[in-house]
Amino acid sequence: MVHAFIIHTLLPGSSLVLHSSTFRQDPLTSYEIKESGSRWHCVRQAQWQYVADVVHGEYQFRRTVSGRSLDEDLARATNIDNGLGLPELECGVLRLSEHAPYADEKVIVWYGAGTLAFSLVCDKTENRLIAEVILKHIVRYLQEYLLVFSQPSEILNKADCIIQILQQLIPDGLLLFRCQRVMRQLEKELDSSMKQVD
Residues 6+ apart with CB under 8 A from 3: 22, 23, 24, 26, 102, 106, 121, 122, 123, 173
Q: Who contacts 120 (Cβ-Cβ below 8 Å, separation ≥6)? A: 2, 4, 5, 108, 109, 110, 131, 134, 135, 170
For residues 41 and 26, give the distance between their C-alpha atoms in angstroms, rounded to a whole number: 12
Instruction: Tell me the pLDDT tens digit for each residue of 66-124.
Output: 888 888 877 777 766 655 578 889 999 999 988 778 888 999 999 998 899 999 999 99
Between CA 130 and CA 128 the distance in angstroms is 5
pLDDT in tens, 40-58: 778 888 889 999 999 999 9
H/E stretch holding 168 = helix 159-169
Phi/psi class of residue 67: alpha, beta or left (left: φ > 0; alpha: ψ in -120 to 50)?
left
N residues, the chain: 198
Structural domains of the chain ordered from first start = 2-197 (3.30.450.60)
Within 13 A of 89's CA, how many CA atoms are on the CB side?
Answer: 22
Note the pTM of the prediction, 2 decimals.
Answer: 0.86
Contact assessment for residue 190 and residue 168, using Cβ atoms and an 8 Å cutoff: yes
Highest mean pLDDT among 2-11, 76-85, 148-157: 2-11
Lowest mean pLDDT among 23-37, 126-140, 141-155: 23-37
How far is Cα 33 from Cα 31, in angstroms, rounded to an integer?
5
Confidence label for 25 from pLDDT (cuts 50, 70 and 90): low
Q: What is the mean pLDDT of the chain?
A: 86
Residue 168 to residue 125: CA distance in whole angstroms: 22
Distance CA 8, CA 6 (A): 6
pLDDT on residue 83: 54
Angle between helices 159-169 and 180-197 (to 10 degrees): 160
pLDDT value at position 123? 93
pLDDT band at 12 (very low <50, low <70, confident <90, very high): confident
Specify the 3-state DSSP secondary structure of 107: strand
